Amino acid sequence: MTEPVQTNDTDMIQSASGRISVPEIAQRLQIGRLAVYSMLEQGIIPGVRLGRRWIVTRRAYLTWEETCGLHAGNGGPVQGEQSGDGGVGFV
C-alpha cells in the first residue's frame, strides 16, 4: 500500500504546463474572471498579453501571491494602488 502524495505550491510550479489559467486565478483569489482580466490589464497581476490571450506563468503568479502583490525589490505597493494615511492596506 502506498502513501498518498501531498502536493504544495512547489509541486504546482513544476507542473507540466507551467501556466495558470484566468479561471484558476479567479478561484484562488475568490473574485470574478473579469476582475482578474482587469488586474492583468493594469499590471497588478504579472502576465503577458498574446493576441487576445493572457499568459500567466505559475511561478510568477505564485511569487506575486506570496508577496501579497508587492513588486520585488522596492517593497512598495503594486502599480495602481495608493497608500492613504500610511496604512498597510491589507484586507
- Where do the domains of the chain lie, and which CATH numbers do they carry? 9-66 (1.10.10)
Rounded to whole angstroms, the Cα distance separating 9 from 13 reads: 6
Rounded to whole angstroms, the Cα distance separating 45 from 36 reads: 8
Q: What is the pLDDT of residues 12-59, one digit of tens each?
A: 444 557 999 999 999 999 999 999 999 999 999 999 999 999 999 999
> Confidence class of residue 68 from pLDDT cuts 50, 70 and 90?
confident
What is residue 72's predicted lDDT score, i.e. its pLDDT?
57
Strand partners, 54: 49
Residue found under cell 473579469? 34
The radius of gyration computed from the CA coordinates of the chain, to the nearest angstrom, equals 15
Q: Which is it for strands 48-50 and 53-55: parallel, antiparallel or unpaired?
A: antiparallel
Rounded to whole angstroms, the Cα distance separating 41 from 56 reads: 12
